[in-house]
């Protein structure tokens, strides 16, 4: 590479590779968002309104909302708060400062300061402040009405479009902080007790004291995913199919609870996949489900109360659950036989999953991996690595 090419390359942004689907998704989202904003604004204000129905900064907002929805600068409070605050600042400067150039400079400076203070920094909002000052006599005459229409209306409509479109196309929006410890304790999740932890990221970001275009939670997720990939290489790429139990007991949704409980007790297991001939795995039933929905006798058998016994005799409907389908978990996380075992660590360590059903491409149960299976595999993989070094 020549020196000139190397120099030019330094001025190019280092962007993460984006798939063709993501490029199409973002472009279609912007199309739908801007069209929706213009249409709703026309209906709400009227096509003959003196103020513009759609302001140019909405194009910049669309880039963030649909192409970078996980950015802290693209969150709901950022767009609504940033645009409304900046419009208010811009109108105020336009009314109080006769020189438009001076008013524009002061407006953008105050808008940035206000957005940083209120935690709603949104780059397109700087253009909103300038539009309020330099938008012409119509906007100047409208005064603070410009804050409501078109700024607030445009912001709320394009935000609503982003909420619907992003979630329908597989992008989580708004970007929410990760769920707390499922055990409701103050301890960090198991996967966050070693290596880089969230507190480390917060401390480093605090040292810089600068604005970053990615949330600490998203950055932490990227780092942990990279660690899992690295661990997968070190663990010899062991798959679920290599360690899973293949002789798996299953039940149907219409299996009586008594029978399912006897299977758990007899085989000393804690969970049973629920399957159908048509759909494959449709749920999971665990000992915890029995504890929540039934009563156990002193000898460990399922207990039916006097009310239910009398109801059975006289034909009244039972009050307590009778079938597996009534207490099973219908939404169950599963894995494929070719899934690397390293990917089971976060759900089993952090989410408290004790069993991971293994299904084929047709959702048929072909095995199950327990926490014991995973621990044994990780220990053996580590032992093999040590022996190779020795």
Q: What is the pLDDT along the chain (390 residues), one digit of tens a residue?
A: 577 777 777 777 666 678 899 999 999 999 999 999 999 999 988 877 788 889 999 999 999 999 999 888 999 999 999 999 999 999 999 999 999 999 999 999 999 999 999 999 999 999 999 999 999 899 989 999 999 999 999 999 999 999 999 999 989 899 765 555 555 656 666 555 555 566 666 676 676 666 566 666 666 666 766 666 666 665 557 889 988 999 999 999 999 998 999 999 999 888 999 999 998 999 999 988 888 776 655 455 665 544 444 445 555 455 567 899 999 999 889 999 999 887 887 788 777 788 899 999 999 999 999 888 888 877 766 655 555 555
Bridge-based pairing of strands 355-359 and 302-303 is unpaired
Q: Which residues pair with 283 in a beta bridge?
A: 274
pTM over 0.85: no
Cβ–Cβ contacts within 10 Å for residue 335, how many? 22
**What residues contact 69, with CB distance under 8 A and at least 6 apart?**
162, 166, 171, 172, 173, 174, 175
Report how far residue 211's alpha carbon sits from residue 207's, in angstroms, rounded to the nearest whole number.
Answer: 12
Structure tokens at 120: 């709603």
Interior angle at CA 213, CA 120 and CA 79, nearest 5: 30
pLDDT of residue 54: 93
Report how far residue 176's alpha carbon sits from residue 75's, in angstroms, rounded to the nearest whole number.
Answer: 9
Interior angle at CA 40, CA 83 and CA 44, nearest 5: 90
DSSP letter assigned to residue 253: T
Q: Are 323 and 254 in contact (CB under 8 A)?
A: yes
**Helices 153-168 and 20-45: angle between axes, nearest 10 degrees:** 140
Indicate if the alpha-carbon torsion angle 14, 18, 24, 26 is positive or negative. negative
Indicate if the alpha-carbon torsion angle 14, 57, 168, 21 is positive or negative. negative
Residue-wise burial string across 111-146, b where 16 or more C-beta atoms lie within 10 A, e elsewhere = bbebbeeeebbbbbbbbbbbbbbbbeeebbebeeeb
pLDDT of residue 274: 96
Closest CA to 115 of 66, 153, 164, 77: 77
pLDDT of residue 301: 61
Q: Which residues pair with 286 in a beta bridge?
A: 271
pLDDT of residue 167: 95
Residue-wise burial string across 151-163, b where 16 or more C-beta atoms lie within 10 A, e elsewhere = bebbbbbbbebbe
Interior angle at CA 116, CA 112 and CA 122, nearest 5: 65
DSSP letter assigned to residue 325: G
Q: For 245-384, where are the E strands, in sequence order?
A: 271-276, 280-286, 295-296, 302-303, 355-359, 365-370
Taking the CA atoms of residue 123, residue 128, residue 134 and residue 140 in that order, the dihedral angle to the nearest 10 degrees is -160
């Amino acid at each position: 590479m020549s020196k000139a090419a190397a120099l030019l390359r330094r001025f190019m942004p280092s962007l993460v590779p984006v798939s063709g689907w993501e490029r199409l998704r973002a472009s279609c989202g912007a199309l739908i968002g801007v069209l929706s904003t213009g249409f709703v604004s026309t209906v709400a204000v009227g096509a003959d309104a003196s103020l513009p129905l759609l302001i140019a900064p909405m194009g910049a907002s669309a880039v963030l909302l649909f192409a970078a929805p996980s950015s802290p600068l693209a969150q709901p409070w950022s767009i609504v708060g940033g645009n409304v605050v900046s419009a208010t600042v811009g109108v105020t400067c336009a009314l109080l400062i006769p020189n438009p150039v001076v008013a524009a400079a002061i407006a953008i400076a105050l808008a940035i300061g206000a957005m940083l203070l209120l935690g709603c920094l949104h780059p397109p909002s700087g253009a909103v402040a300038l539009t309020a000052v330099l938008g012409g006599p119509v906007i100047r005459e409208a005064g603070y009405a410009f804050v409501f229409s078109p700024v607030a209306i445009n912001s709320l409509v394009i935000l609503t479009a982003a909420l619907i479109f992003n979630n329908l196309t597989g992008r989580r929006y708004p970007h929410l902080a990760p769920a707390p410890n499922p055990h409701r304790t103050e301890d960090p999740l198991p996967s966050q007790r070693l290596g880089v932890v969230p507190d480390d990221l917060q401390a480093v970001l605090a040292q810089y004291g600068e604005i970053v275009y990615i949330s600490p939670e998203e950055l932490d997720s990227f780092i942990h995913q990279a660690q899992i990939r690295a661990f997968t290489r070190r663990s010899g790429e062991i798959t679920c199919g290599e360690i899973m139990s293949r002789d798996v007991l299953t039940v149907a949704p219409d299996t009586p609870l008594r029978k399912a409980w006897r299977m758990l007790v007899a085989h000393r297991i804690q969970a049973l996949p629920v399957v159908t001939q048509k759909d494959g795995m449709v749920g999971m039933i665990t000992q915890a489900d029995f504890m929540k929905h039934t009563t156990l006798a002193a000898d460990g058998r399922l207990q039916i109360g006097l009310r239910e016994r009398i109801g059975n005799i006289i034909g009244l409907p039972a009050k307590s659950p009778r079938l597996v389908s009534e207490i099973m978990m219908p939404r169950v996380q599963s894995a494929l036989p070719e899934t690397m075992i390293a990917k089971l660590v976060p759900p089993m360590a952090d989410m408290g999953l004790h069993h991971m059903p293994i299904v084929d491409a047709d959702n048929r149960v072909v095995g199950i991996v327990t926490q014991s299976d995973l621990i044994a595999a990780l220990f053996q993989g580590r032992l093999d690595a040590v022996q190779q070094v020795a």
